[in-house]
Amino acid sequence: MTDMRRADYSDRMPFDHTELRRVMGCFATGVTVITTRDQGGRPYGLTANAVTSLSLEPPLLLICVDRKAETYPHFFDSKIFVLNILREDQEDVSRRFAKTGGEKFTGVSYRIGHLDTPVLEGTLGHVECRIIETLEGGDHVIHIGEVQHAEAGEGRPLLFFRGKYHKLPSD
Ligand SMILES: Cc1cc2nc3c(=O)[nH]c(=O)nc-3n(C[C@H](O)[C@H](O)[C@H](O)COP(=O)(O)O)c2cc1C
């Protein structure tokens, strides 16, 4: 696995996690499924909203992945991820990829993209990235990906706000 800079958290203040969750739950986001694969080509993926575009030149994105996620080690194997941005009719896909275990890809339409990694069908768009750097982020890691291919689709986004799924109101 990639060497990561180790932060020193020994001097930190005691903190109320519940309140932090409540505050950050007010930060409305879109919903993505981040996919990757293992060395044998088996697909993996997880629902994620801790993602952002980082730079246009060079084109970079970042994703944050929980160290406890089953998908976690496979980003280190492949050094690749695909960010699939979900459409408002894909709440079932989000729920499926937000659960550990099971055959997550069974019954989900996907194709193999430019980097031999699953690209979900029916999304608002997707971005295929090569991981160029990994940073430590407490109980998560931050993968910075250089964009290799990006494609926007049609439709409206699935949203997440205060622990629930939402859609944009109709125009
Ligand atoms: C809306 C939403 C956003 C999430 N965002 C993230 C995230 O950014 N990073 C992460 O590691 N887990 C995130 N999760 C949790 C994972 O999807 C969840 O832990 C999943 O079970 C991991 O799957 P795995 O263990 O099969 O890898 C999110 C879940 C939901 C419902």
Does residue 66 line the site of ligand 1, with CB under 6 A?
yes
Instruction: Give the rounded percent of residues in the chain with a pLDDT score beyond 90.
Output: 87
Q: Is the pLDDT of residue 33 over 90?
A: yes
Which residue, by CA, sits nearest to atom 14 of ligand 1? 48
Question: Mapping DSSP to helix (H, G, I), strand (E, B) and coil, where does residue 70 land?
Answer: coil
pLDDT above 60 for 1:
no
Asked if the model's pLDDT at residue 2 lies above 60, the reply is no
What tens digit of pLDDT does each residue of 88-111 get? 999 999 999 999 998 999 999 999
**Distance of CA 171 from the midpoint of ligand 1 (Å):** 30
DSSP reduced 3-state for 149: strand
Whole-number pLDDT of residue 147: 98
Minimum-distance ligand 1 atom for the alpha carbon of 95: 31
| Residue 156 in this model has a pLDDT that exceeds 70 | yes
Q: Whose CA is nearest to atom 26 of ligand 1?
A: 100
**Contacts for 33 with CB less than 8 Å, ≥ 6 apart:** 45, 46, 47, 48, 84, 86, 93, 94, 97, 120
In degrees and rounded to multiples of 5, residue 86 shows phi and psi of -80, 145
Q: What does the angle CA 22 – CA 24 – CA 25 come to, to the nearest 5 degrees?
A: 60
Taking the centre of ligand 1 as the mean of its atom positions, its distance from the CA of residue 48, in whole angstroms, is 5
pLDDT grade, residue 152 (50/70/90)? very high
The single-letter DSSP state of residue 12 is P
Count of residues for the chain? 171
165 is written with which tokens? Answer: 């799924």
Nearest to 48 by CA among 35, 38, 67, 60: 35
Cβ of 48 closer than 6 Å to ligand 1, yes or no, is: yes
Residue 101 neighbours by CB distance under 10 Å = 6
CB atoms under 10 Å from CB of 80, counted, come to 22
Residue 45 has pLDDT above 80, yes or no: yes
Q: Is the CB of 49 under 6 A from ligand 1?
A: yes
Best substitution site from 27, 34, 47, 83 to test ligand 1's pocket, by max atoms within 8 Å of Cβ? 47
Give 146: exposed, middle or buried? Use CB within 10 Å, 0-12, 13-18, 19+.
middle
Residue 85 to residue 104: CA distance in whole angstroms: 17
Cα(10) to ligand 1 centroid in Å equals 27
CA distances from residue 9 to 43, 64, 139 in whole angstroms, order as listed? 34, 18, 12
